[in-house]
Amino acid sequence: MATRVTYGRVDELLNRLRFTSTVEATRGIRAYRHTGTRTLVLLAAKPEEAAVAEGDIVSLRRQLCERGILEPREFEAWLAAA
């Protein structure tokens, strides 16, 4: 994966898709919840400009696409715009 995706871009995407988020500071994670599909995405609570690990991007794609929140081609277009 040659693109660099930041936590800020992921946050923007998930907010656009109507996820709500909370930071669990003691655990160092940000939890995103999509109530319509009962989807939970957990990511490290890192600065907006920090790069997201490739494995987390793969996991995010799988969750969004398999739950019908985003079409695979839409995810790939978002990823390509990074």
pLDDT, tens digit, 9 for 90 and up, residues 21-62 = 999 988 999 999 999 999 999 999 999 999 999 999 999 999
Domain residue limits, the chain: 7-77
Q: How far apart are CA 4 and CA 68, in angstroms?
A: 24
Estimate to the nearest angstrom the gap between the alpha carbon of 75 and the chain centroid. 10
Q: What is the pLDDT of residue 82?
A: 75
Cβ distance 72 to 79 under 8 Å? no
Q: The whole model's pTM is what?
A: 0.90
Greater confidence (3 vs 64) lies with 64
Q: How far apart are CA 3 and CA 74, in angstroms?
A: 16
Q: How far apart are CA 77 and CA 74, in angstroms?
A: 5
Predicted confidence band of residue 7 (pLDDT cuts 50, 70, 90):
very high
45-54 exposure pattern, b = at least 16 Cβ within 10 A, e = fewer: bbeeeeebee
Does domain 7-77 correspond to CATH entry 3.90.1720? no
Q: What is the pLDDT of residue 1?
A: 45
